Amino acid sequence: MSKTSKRTSKKTGSKTGSKTSSKTSSKTSSKTSSKTSTTQTHEFQAETRQVLRLVIHSLYSNKEIFLRELISNASDALDQLRFVAIQDDSIYAGDSELRIEIEIDEKAGTLTVRDNGIGMNREEVMENIGTIAKSGTREFLDRLSGDQKADAQIIGQFGVGFYSAFIVADKVTLLSRKAGDAVDEGVRWESDGGGEFSIETTDRATHGTEVTLHVKKAEKEFLSKWTIRSLVSRYSDHIGFPIRMPAEAQDGDTPWEDVNQASALWTLPKKEISDEEYQSFYKHLTHDLEDARCWAHNKVEGSQCYTTLLYVPTTAPMDLMLQRDERTGLRLYVKRVFIMDAAQSLLPHYLRFIRGVVDSSDLPLNVSRELLQENELLAKIRSAMIRRCLNMIGKIAKDDPEQYEKFFEQFGAVLKEGVAEDFTNRDRIAPLLRFASTHEKGSDACVSLDLYKERMQEGQDVIYFITAENHQAASNSPHLEVFRKNGIEVLLMSDRVDEWMMAYFTEFDGTAFKSVAKGEIDLGALQSTDSDSPQEEGDTKASEEAAQTLDADLLKKIHDNLTDQVSEVRTSQRLTDSASCLVLGEQEMALHLQKLLEQAGQAVPGSRPVLELNADHPLVQLLQESEGDEAFSELSLMLYEQALLSEGGSLSDPAGFVRRVNKLMLKV
C-alpha cells in the first residue's frame, strides 16, 4: 500500500516526505501496550493539512475514487512482495496466495481494505502517511483557487492516494506489518483527518496492510456490497491480483469470492478489449480523472517477445517541465511480474509524459536496475518504444490536426527537448514540432516546418526564426520589421526551451535555420521594391528606399559613449520603424535567456552585443543634431537601453532610464 501513495505523489508533485516536519509535535499518551511501546500523537505537517482539507471538501463528484486508490495501493504492495520473493520465497511466511480483501461491517459502519503484501514498519508509516515533502507540493497549493470544481480538477492531476479515504470516512485506522518482521513489530496508525494522527506499535499476526474506514453517516452508500462491487468492476477490474469479498454464508461459514477478473489487460488480444476498458485501465494506471487522448497496444514476437500498451494523456501535470529530476516512465513487467514502477531507461526524458506498461518475456527476473539499464535487449526495446511513441503522436498530427494543436499546447515544450537530446530520432521529431508565425494570427503554435518550407519565397534559402521570453515579445520585436515589410515569414518561438533547442537544431530537411536577431541580415533579392509585394497592414510606404548610411564618425562617437555595453554600432538593415535594436553573435545566448539564468543563480558568460540604429528614425536624427556632450551621451544611452528592454534584458539603472525619458519628453 505504501508505495502507491509514494509513487502517485512523486509523479504528480506531492510526494510524501522522508521525515516528520519540524513543526511536528510528539506527545505520549497514557495508554501503554503489553510491551514498553506507547501511543504517540503527532500533528500533521501544515501542507498535509491543506491537502487533507481540499481532498475532504472538494471532490464531491468523485467520492468513489477513494476505493480505486486504496486497491491500487494494495496491488502495489503485493507486487513488491512478489518481486522480493523472487530471490527469497521464505518472505511469504506460508501465505503465498496474494490477494486483496474488502469487507463491510454495516453495524459498525466500517469498510476495510486489506492485503497480504509487503507491509510497512513504523518508520515507513511515518514517512509515507505522516508528512508531505517539497517535490512540487508548494507550487500545487499556490495554484489552487477558491472554486471547488477547479480545485477538484487539480487534484485529479496530482492524484489523491491514501488521503482520499477521508472523502468518505471521518476516521481511518491502518494496521500494518512488514513482511519478514516479527509479530510484535506491527504498527497501528489512526486519524480523523484533522490536525493530528496517532501511531503505536502492536501485535499483528500476518504481514501486509489493513485500512479500515469509519464511514461518515452521509456516505452510507459505500457500506453497500453492490456499490462496492460495481466500483471494483469499474476501476479495478484489471488488477492482476484477486479482489475478494465475502459471499453469502453457507452452513455457518462465510466463503470469499473474487469480484474482479484479475487479468492483465495488456495480455489480452486487442479485438477483445473495448475502448471503455482501455480508458478504465489508463485511469487505474495513472490515477488521472480524464480519459487518455490516445493509446497504442502492440505485441512483438520473434527474436524478442514483449507487449506494450502506451498512452498519451489529455492534460499535462502542472509540474511537467520540472519533472526532469523526478522518476517517471513506464511500468516494467517480466512475464507479468512487476519489476519497477518508473522504468526511466525505457523512454528518454522528452517522452516523460507517456504512460503505460511494457511486459517482456526475455529480460532476466533477477536483473538489478543498474544492469537493466545496460541490458542489450532493453536497449532494443527502448529504441522500439521511442519509434512507437513518435508514430502514435504523428498519427494524431496526420489524422486530426485540430486535436494535435491541443496536444502540442500541453506537451510541445517537452517534445522539443528531443531535438537536442535524441540525434538519432531528430528527423522523426522535427516534423512534429509546431510554431507560431508572423503569417498566422494569435499565439497558436500551428505552423509545421513542412508548411513553412512550402510557403518560402522564391530564392529564400533559410528558415527565419526569433526567440523571446513570451509570444508578445517575439511578435513585437523590432527585428521583424524588414521581414514583415517584405512578406517574409518568421517563426515566433517563446517557449523557454526554444533558445536551447535551436543551439542544436541547425537545419531541417536540408534548409538551414537563421535567427533574425543574430548576425548580419542580407535579404538580397528578397528585399523587393515592387509595390505589389506583400505588405504589413497599415504600412503606408509604397516602395522600399535604400537605407541611409550613418556617418562613420557619428557611429564611432556613439560607440565611445557605450564602449562598456556594446561591441559595435552600425546602421541597421533590419529596422523600418524602431530607432534601435541589439544584435548578438551567431553563437551567443539570447538576452532573455541570460536574464533567466542569472535569476536562477547561474554564471552567464559576458557578451557585448552590436547596437544597430535606424538612420531614418527621428530619435537618431535628433542624436545627430544634439548639442553638447551630455545630451549626446544621454540620448545614446537611451537608444541602447530601449533596445535592451525590447530584447528582454534588464536595466542596471531603471531610475536613470526613466529620468532620461522624462527629460526627452519635456523637450517635445
Kindly report, residue by residue over 274-324, the tens digit of the pLDDT: 999 999 899 888 888 899 999 999 999 888 899 999 999 999 887 676 555
Portions of the chain given CATH number 1.20.120.790: 550-668
Q: Given this model, what pLDDT does residue 159 score?
A: 37
Separation between Cα atoms, residue 429 and residue 416, nearest integer Å: 8
Q: Which CATH class is domain 267-411?
A: alpha beta
Q: Which CATH class is domain 550-668?
A: mainly alpha
Q: Give pLDDT tens digits for 429-457.
A: 999 999 999 999 888 889 999 999 999 99
Cα 332 to chain centroid distance, Å, stands at 21
Q: Give pLDDT tens digits for 497-510.
A: 999 999 999 999 99
Can you name the CATH fold of 2-28+37-239? Heat Shock Protein 90 (3.30.565)
Q: Give pLDDT tens digits for 619-668.
A: 998 888 876 788 899 999 999 999 999 888 888 899 989 998 898 888 76
Read off the C-alpha cell for 491. 517563426
pLDDT band at 270 (very low <50, low <70, confident <90, very high): very high
DSSP letter at 178? -
Q: Give pLDDT tens digits for 247-262.
A: 877 666 779 999 988 7
pLDDT band at 617 (very low <50, low <70, confident <90, very high): very high
Separation between Cα atoms, residue 497 and residue 350, nearest integer Å: 11
**Is residue 600 helix, strand or coil?**
coil
- Contact call for residues 377 and 334 (beta carbons, < 8 A): no
Separation between Cα atoms, residue 45 and residue 126, nearest integer Å: 12
pLDDT band at 10 (very low <50, low <70, confident <90, very high): very low
Q: Given this model, what pLDDT does residue 444 score?
A: 85
Average pLDDT of every residue of the chain: 81
> Buried b vs exposed e over 118-139: b needs ≥16 C-beta within 10 Å?
bbbbbebbbbbbbbbbebbbee
- Contact call for residues 298 and 358 (beta carbons, < 8 A): no
Read off the C-alpha cell for 207. 504481514
**Ranges 20-29, 220-229, 370-379: which has the least confidence:** 20-29
Can you name the CATH fold of 434-494+513-536? Rossmann fold (3.40.50)
Read off the C-alpha cell for 312. 498519451
Read off the C-alpha cell for 323. 519533472
From residue 237, alpha-carbon distances to 18, 160, 231, 232, 598 in Å are: 32, 20, 9, 6, 51
pLDDT at 143 over 60: no
pTM, rounded to two decimals = 0.67
Q: Given this model, what pLDDT does residue 1 score?
A: 43
Q: Give pLDDT tens digits for 521-543.
A: 888 778 765 434 444 444 434 33
More confident site: 150 or 494: 494
Q: Give pLDDT tens digits for 327-374.
A: 567 888 877 666 777 667 788 999 999 999 998 887 765 444 444 555
**Is residue 98 helix, strand or coil?**
coil
Q: Which residues pair with 299 in a beta bridge?
A: 307
Q: Given this model, what pLDDT does residue 327 score?
A: 52
Separation between Cα atoms, residue 91 and residue 104, nearest integer Å: 29
